[in-house]
């Protein structure tokens, strides 16, 4: 492994909707092992993982568990009610700004888990500023605009989706993960 650092930026709504929900019912991802593996594939040391999402009742426990992990940060957007549903706001902008900030502190490898073409300007900026950008996206987006704008596009498939095998008590959970 090189001395280079890698940061993993996960658009959690995208990951859940486009990848995890399409797997076997009830599939739970081991986010730590997933992040470590993506960094290993970039031949870099895992600096930090940032998970971008809004807090809903359905993901409250997951976000709490993730923020207890070493080198994990949860970046929470806001919710806006549209009709009878809520949509997340600010998440994409926070992720794009973080990419630029990481580049400025010399994180050489930026790993983005998303398929959202809105990130293309940030990807281009970070690449031109010297960081390598890896995009991991759903198989249907693997050759999409965002993936093509990156240095290294990758499909999120079973080879990187590591199931969560630890048991979690909803009131208290192992902070060591």
Distance between CA atoms of residues 177 and 168, nearest Å: 9
Q: Assign 170 a pLDDT band (cuts: 50, 70, 90).
A: very low
Q: What is the pLDDT of residues 142-160, one digit of tens each?
A: 889 999 999 999 999 999 9
* Domain presence at residue 167: no
- Which is higher by pLDDT, 91 or 58? 91
Give the tens place of pLDDT for each residue, 77-117. Answer: 988 888 888 888 899 999 999 999 999 999 999 999 999 99
Is 118 within a domain? yes
Could you list the residue range(s) of the whole structural domain that residue 9 is in?
A: 5-155
Residue 43, phi-psi category: left (phi > 0), alpha (psi -120 to 50), beta (remainder):
left
Q: For residue 122, is it within any domain?
A: yes
Q: What average pLDDT does the chain have?
A: 90
Q: Which two tokens stand for residue 71?
A: 């080198």
Q: Is residue 172 part of a domain?
A: no
Number of domains in the chain: 1
Does the structure show a pLDDT above 70 at 12? yes
CA separation for the pair 12, 77 (Å, rounded) = 11
Average the pLDDT over 51-74 and give the result.
93
State the DSSP string of 5-51: EEEEEEEHHHHHHHTGGGSSTT--B-HHHHHHHHHHHTTSEEEEEEE
Domain with residue 142: its CATH number is 3.40.50.1010
Identify the weakest region by mean pLDDT among 72-76, 93-97, 168-172.
168-172
Confidence at 174, pLDDT banded by 50, 70, 90: very low
């Amino acid at each position: 492994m090189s001395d280079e650092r890698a940061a993993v930026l996960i658009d959690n709504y995208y990951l859940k909707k486009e990848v995890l929900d399409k797997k076997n019912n009830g599939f739970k991802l081991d986010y730590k092992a997933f992040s470590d593996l993506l960094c290993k594939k970039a031949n870099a040391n895992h600096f930090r993982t940032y998970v971008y999402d809004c807090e809903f009742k359905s993901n409250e426990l997951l976000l709490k568990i993730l923020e207890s992990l070493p080198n994990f940060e949860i970046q929470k957007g806001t919710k806006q009610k549209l009709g009878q549903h809520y949509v997340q706001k600010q998440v994409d902008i926070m992720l794009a700004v973080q990419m630029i900030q990481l580049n400025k502190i010399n994180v050489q490898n930026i790993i983005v888990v998303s398929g959202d073409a809105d990130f293309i300007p940030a990807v281009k900026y970070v690449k031109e500023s010297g960081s390598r950008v890896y995009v991991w996206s759903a198989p249907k987006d693997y050759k999409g605009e965002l993936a093509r704008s990156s240095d290294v596009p990758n499909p999120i498939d079973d080879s990187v989706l590591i199931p969560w095998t630890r048991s979690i008590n909803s009131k208290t959970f192992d902070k060591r993960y």
